[in-house]
Amino acid sequence: MAQGEGTAEKKLAGVELTIRLEQGKHKRKGKRGVTMIKLCSGVLALMLLASGITGCSKPKITEEQAKAVVSEQHFRNSAFGPITIVSITHSNEGYAVKWERPNNCEAGTSYVDDKEGKVLRAEVSIC
């Protein structure tokens, strides 16, 4: 029996040693795991922040409404004839409406706020 007890003791010691080694590994993995969780949380927070900044700014007015705002403004302010809308593009700040008035050799771009529908600024050139 002494031999069996010795074997049992060795096995028991081997189990304890294995447990201790595994606990040491878990401690190291635990530190790495905490670091990875912090890193992943930080990346996720940045992604949510970035998507919140860019994704929530949906225009409240349509392209057609922006065209109408620019046409109305130039109709009221000039006796040189109507304007023709050449193109319209949307960016972060609003709509860029390019227009021309052939009767006066005039062309320009009006920038319309996409939330309130007001002209923010305009660039005009006359030949």
Report d(CA 15, CA 23) in Å as an integer.
Answer: 12
Q: What is the mean pLDDT of residues 57-73?
A: 88
Same domain membership, residue 121 and residue 69: yes
Q: What is the mean pLDDT of residues 62-71?
A: 92
Residue 96 confidence (pLDDT) above 80: yes
Q: Which of 2-6, 92-96, 109-113, 114-118 has the lowest mean pLDDT?
A: 2-6
- Mean pLDDT, all residues of the chain: 76
Higher pLDDT, 42 or 62: 62
For residue 29, the SS3 value is helix
Same domain membership, residue 104 and residue 73: yes
Token pair listed for 1: 């029996």
Same domain membership, residue 71 and residue 41: no
Beta strands (DSSP E) in 12-105 are 84-90, 94-101
Same domain membership, residue 42 and residue 70: no
Count CB atoms within 10 A of the CB of residue 57.
12
**pLDDT digit string (tens) for 75-92?**
877 788 889 999 999 988
Residue-level pLDDT at 86 = 95
**In terms of Cα–Cα distance, which of 71, 57, 38 is closest to 113?**
57
Q: Radius of gyration of the chain from Cα atoms?
A: 35
> Residue 100 belongs to what domain range?
63-126
**pLDDT digit string (tens) for 13-46?**
555 545 554 555 544 555 666 777 777 777 777 7
Same domain membership, residue 2 and residue 42: yes
**In terms of Cα–Cα distance, which of 83, 78, 71, 114 is closest to 96?**
114
Residue 6 confidence (pLDDT) above 50: no
Same domain membership, residue 78 and residue 40: no
